[in-house]
Chain A
Amino acid sequence: MVDILEHPVSAHDLPDPHHEDHGPTGILKWITTTDHKVIGLSYTVTAVVMLVIGGVFAEIIRAQLASPNGTLVSLAQYNELFTMHGSVMIYLFAGPFAFGALANIMVPIQIGAPDMAYPRLNALSYWLYLTGAITMLSGFFTAGGAANFGWVAYAPLSNSLNTPGAGADLWIGGLLLTGFSAIFTGVNLVATIFYLRAPGMTMFRMPIFTWNMLVTAILILLAFPVLTAGLIMLYADRHFGTHIFSVAGGGVPVLWQHIFWFWGHPEVYILALPFFGMVTEILAVFSRKPVFGYKGMIFATLSIAALSLGVWAHHMFTTGVVLLPFFSIMSLLIAVPTGIKIFNWIGTMWRGEVWFSAAMLMAIGFVITFLIGGLTGIYLASPPLDFFTHDTYFVVAHFHSVVMALVLAGMAGLYYWGPKFTGYLLDERIGKIQFWFLFIGTQVFTLPLYLLGLRGMPRRMAIYPHDPQWKFLNDVSTVGAVLIGISTILFVVNVVVSWKKHPAGDNPWDGQTLEWFTTSPPPHHNFYRLPAIRSERPTWDYNHPEHRAIPHAPAPVTAETEPVR
């Protein structure tokens, strides 16, 4: 305790952070940079472009489904579209946006580091990601079209007999490249967080976002190599005559599902945890309170990660070849730490001063949307209910509630941190309008799909029998998709109209963590000076020394430990 209060406020100067910044400028700087902020910005722009591409695919899919015998696209094109929609959103948007874009920029700054631990590896990650994205999407320009076996590429549909053509190979290649990019980013994040923390920044003083990124990075290192191995096996089956996934050659098709989901379920949390972290910080800052249950939050994150490695077969309940009770209880248990997080988020806002900024609205929208996705996920952890709803639109609705919650959180992250790394605020009014379109659109889009699944419509159907209920629910969902599309356009409009218009200043939101202590945008090596780091809110402690967090086990107040005031 004495240690905490000895230097309640002080900021010490660092060597000139520009001392190594003699690099080129302009486009050459963008290509040759190893600065995590520039790389992160490249990631941000690329990922948002991917979001738009994946979103366009989604809008085409929804337009096709607006009538039972839609003729907008052919059956073959439809299969390509939903395959690439899922692939682009999962592999090329959500993951890279979380750990390539926002974590890349924010983690070093949040822990007071000058850069990532391996700046060149970081640059390699980005270029692998960009190359992988282009490789995967270039399938559309081949004779047979892009990959069309679904984003999960179940064997044996994905073998060379059932899916000949270069599109599938480009999909595998692109995924291998982005997979390596993710692994390198994971290595980088772990090394950075373990070795480059500023003096005073102990593990339990790291912001929740950094904590979540550490856990995410560890999950990446555990899960992605498995996917990489699986993809190599798939490629070997397609081209080198191996029979790993073929019955005829003595192989086991279900093995692909095991490998894929052993990566695929941790991947769900690789996608989600970063956004959980962002929301946690945003809720705290815009309630002007510390994160409620900070340590509980960290243990919840750790247990989600641990459990997520033992639940993959809940995607395979209907295969009839997995042990149902084990995967059921493990999956159900994930509800517990997730519930802790939701209650902690509410606790963070409780008796706070909730400021309805665009970022905060998006974060609150995230909590509600994620709650819907989480509760419906509990059904799917129960094998009998999964038999009932598996591969129907109920499942589609469930994971779209979850990923649309992540989109809300990602938007919250852009409104919250965008000013830090660009130096300029986004327009708040457009942001709030965008929020309402995105939030209402999400519910109008997903809620009918739950009912559609219960009414028996399987997923991945380009055309469907003319059932008035199916058509009505599909139409409502399409309206929701249009609203979401408008919200994305509003975001682009916002970036354009507020381009270099409202300078942000160092700390526009009265932030709590270290990134709000430096300038916006931060200098080449991030900091001119650092405050004393004596809690997980060094900037807050510096700005509001009289409003420290109240510890959970109050130390006996003596003259020595009495806080200032």
Chain B
Amino acid sequence: MRSKIDKILLIILLIAFLVSIYLIFQWVPQIKASNPAEQIAQRIFYFHVPSAWLGFMAFFVVFCGSVAYLVTRDRKYELISVASAEIGVLFISLVLITGPIWAKPVWGIWWTWDVRLTSSLILWLIYVAFLMLRRYLPDGSKRANLSAVVGIIGFIDVPIVYYSIRWWETQHPKAVMASSEGSLAAPMFFAFMFSLATFTLLYVYLIRKRYQLLALEDTINKQFKEMEIL
């Protein structure tokens, strides 16, 4: 049953990805920009922004999983948190990679300490630290407790980080920011929403798979233990 759902999900995901790629690279009209490189680079937006949103979502799931774990002490929630943290780091990594690729032709620089960039980087650092912590601890209920505590504190900190950097940025000379795009044209909006839906599906698929894998590891390890005992 479970594997059947996964298979269907995977097929939908593949089709959705092909469709989004078509929408993004063929269907969406060219934006008006003086720089031809910018016209191409702009399309990265359809991957960049959904990754960022899904990254946030993933960390919200880490938070919920951590709270649920501390309330129930159910291993299940620990595994969901870990799986989601890993995928969140993956998505934010994508954000941090696609961002500079876009920025170089458009702004002329790879990186600037702008609020979005800086807070994404700090966000990434927070959850990399979360995963590192788990690497340094032996498996067990102690590790589950400690990482749940960090999962909660980390997420509460996220808006504060964003807020503080936005504040800090206004104190500093502005980066060479292009004027904001304004509202999206209808086809762009559609392509964006489609891409967002595809990424959401990707998240769902990945977290299911990762969770299953983690649970399977537990089962196998337990069976080995069981064999030792008998």
Chain A partners chain B: no
Q: Which residues of chain B have a CB within 8 Å of any CB of chain A? A: none
